[in-house]
Structure 1
Amino acid sequence: MNDPQDPSDPYETTETHLERLLGRALNSFDLPDSVVERLQTALAHSSALHSSHHSASLHRTTHRHTYLLADGSALTLWELVHNAGRDGTDQHELYTEESDVRLAVSRLPSGPLPGWTAERADGRGFEEDDDLELMAALLARPIPAQPRMYVPDNSADHARRVLRRAENADRPGERTARRLRLAFAHHITQAFGRLCPVEGGRDAGFTLYEHQFLLLDGSEVSLWEVEHTATPDGRHMCEVYESERAAREAMESRARVR
């Protein structure tokens, strides 16, 4: 019942294990308060490697941590460990749902997507000095048609977490947040994903997601989430908008040609 991240201490107490797990996770602040409060009553734990992927430049592993609580119930945390950060050191993220950690894995950079090409209006290929025009063409790439499959999975809390991690000043306000408290199902679609050149002679990852929510009154509300690393220090940043157009304009404003 030890943490596979530290096999040298097979007798680590659950309290010490939790303190270390929460302390190293970059997104521990995003865990619901109710989950953190329940974890404080943990009596024992068991950790296991759930999945692993290694390539020449990227590695990632997913671990399942299960806790026995004082009331006799069990609680599971999913830990993602990867080296996709700017300096290549291991980064740790925690999630309460397996579906969330799977989504996080899908967001890790994997290089330029195959088959993404663009042509000028006159039919000529883009030259090196046409980076800005190529960027605009890629960002305007239409979303492929996909069937929506709404999943009733604590959707109101999912909406709250999406809004909570948004760092942009013009993120959706309280009116939208109140509407999304009525969400009972949701669907997530990746609309865009690519590495793009930015100011400073480096590449930054841009990913656009549509989170569509089905409300109790039968209406639908979408949140458009932009995740990128076009920050001065290369850190990951999340922005959320109420329309696809605003989200794509935000991506264009973050991108700079070399």
Structure 2
Amino acid sequence: MHRFRRTTGYRTALLTAFIAAVILGGCPKTTNTLHEVQDDFNGLNPTFFQAAAPNTLTADEESAYRQIVQKIEAGHLKSVDRDDLKVAAYAIDAFSRWRLRDYAAAKAAAEKGLDIFARAGLQTNRRDYGMLLITGGLADYSETFWDYQNWLRDHPNDFIPGEDAAEYTDRMAAAMKKIDAVNQPQKGLGPEEPIVLYANQQQLRVITGILDIWSNVRDDADQKGPVCRWTKRAETLVGQRFPSAGDYSGKAQTDELERKIAAVAQSYQCDG
């Protein structure tokens, strides 16, 4: 039986490239605090997609993310007046809480940031806006994958029932739909913007999670239908959501995910 183990996890390292200096004025103390938070956040994410496992942090990383959240709460959001600075802070706050597995708080912070962005009619903070758009989906996927991993730990010698696999898949598919919001034309984000490419790569990662689930169903006959549907979905996603030619940020990671998913399709003879 094929086993597709998802050994790479979420890492928000791409944000090193796109947590830009939106701090153009305002209270010096507040500005310095957010600069400090951005530096701390970027320091936690020095590479791109290099996490060891989903929902996993070292003790030092967890402590650092908690300090970021505390600094934002104590030193920024309570005193800042500028809407663009609030949006930047909420974006970092939401992503940090997601990494800390504080999923409800991550989604709440993202919604607050989105509300400010919309009410203020901001045209800046495009990358922060993209971060806020996808946080809910990232949190939902991570929470579902965590629940699935807990099921495996609680049933070390069992196959996952098909109905449970279908339920986890439905939850992950809903999370994918939320992440895909960055591609809606009305959101105003271009298809080659880093945050959009990041979101689309995360959708591919959701598919690897779904494939992992179905690899733990008992019968190959029950596995094949869902596996082939989702590998085809990945093929379509790559064709529609990524540049067809030339290099772009994170292309190597996209290619790696595409190869892994294609290998699963081949092992199940999905084209046969």
Return the structure number with greater helix share. 2
Computing the radius of gyration from Cα coordinates, the structure with the larger value is: 1
**Which is richer in strand?**
1
Structure with the bigger RCO (C-alpha within 8 Å, sep 6+) is 2
